[in-house]
Amino acid sequence: MSGNIELIAIRGLGEVYPDNDLAAMIGEAALNAGLQLLDGDIVVVAQKVVSKAEGRLVWLDEIEPGDQAREIALRQQRDPRLIEVILRESASLIRSDNHVLITETHHGFICANAGVDRSNVIGDEWVSLLPVDPDGSAERLRADLRRVTGANIAVIVTDTFGRAWREGLTNVAIGIAGMVPLIDFRGSKDDYGKDLSATVLAIADEVAAAAGLLMKKTARIPAVIIRGCNFDSGVGSARLMIRPRERDLFR
């Protein structure tokens, strides 16, 4: 370990369509850019391209909104078809105002609009959804990238979420493969010999946020290599990062 961490953008991926081989596209884009994946790298991939490759797209013209969607849409001055899709992707409605819906997705994520998004999708009538199983998506992509490149890597699938009590969005990990997402320092001591009783670092979210510095919303960089990051390899899951309801003080 050199003590340095590199963030390397994989450019030139191109538009992703349903049933595209995303791993092959990432491998080819990296090769064209003169990049080589190495053992121990983390490949961070934006949810949007994963969802596109998996066909997680909805054409709003095919959506018939129900009464609840129409009522919310009238209050928020939004498309009732979009609201209907959000409600279908939600396990429960947490909060709402005149502009946004905060929901719990079927995965257990708490986020705006259940992750349903119109941005970076071709056509005004199409929206993207979160992957059905983001951890499974990350695991498949990890296996496929190893097949394509030969490298033993970890994979994180990210999306941009807001946070309780904080303005702005940041990248977070919604799918993880090949790494343990949390580092538990409880039971160890700090530099002054004091016992650590509550420190659990969300390393997967830290890596996701770092990759977001390159990804951005309009940069057309949906994949980033993180090199030199010290992490524990093993079975990982973004579900491990979801705080249990009984310890959630923000609902």
The answer to which of 9-13, 88-92, 187-191, 242-246 has the lowest mean pLDDT is 187-191
Asked if 94 and 251 touch (Cβ cutoff 8 Å), the reply is yes
CATH code reported for the domain at 6-56+131-247 = 3.30.1330.100
Does residue 57 sit in helix, strand or coil? strand
pLDDT the model gives residue 197: 65
pLDDT the model gives residue 97: 87
Residue ranges of the alpha helices (H) in 126-191? 134-149
Q: What is the pTM of this model?
A: 0.93
CATH code reported for the domain at 57-128 = 3.90.1660.10
> What stretches of the chain adopt beta strand conformation (E)?
6-10, 42-46, 57-59, 90-96, 101-105, 110-112, 126-128, 154-163, 166-177, 183-184, 200-201, 223-227
pLDDT the model gives residue 31: 94
pLDDT higher than 90, residue 235: no
Give CA–CA dist 18/59, Å, rounded.
14
Asked if 231 and 9 touch (Cβ cutoff 8 Å), the reply is no
Query: What digits encode the pLDDT tens for the residues 155-173?
Result: 999 999 998 889 999 999 9
Q: Cα 91–17–143 angle (5° rounding)?
A: 75
pLDDT the model gives residue 1: 45
Give CA–CA dist 28/11, Å, rounded.
10
pLDDT the model gives residue 2: 54
Residue extents of the structural domains in the chain: 6-56+131-247, 57-128
Query: What digits encode the pLDDT tens for the residues 25-71?
Result: 999 999 999 999 999 999 999 999 999 999 999 999 999 999 999 99
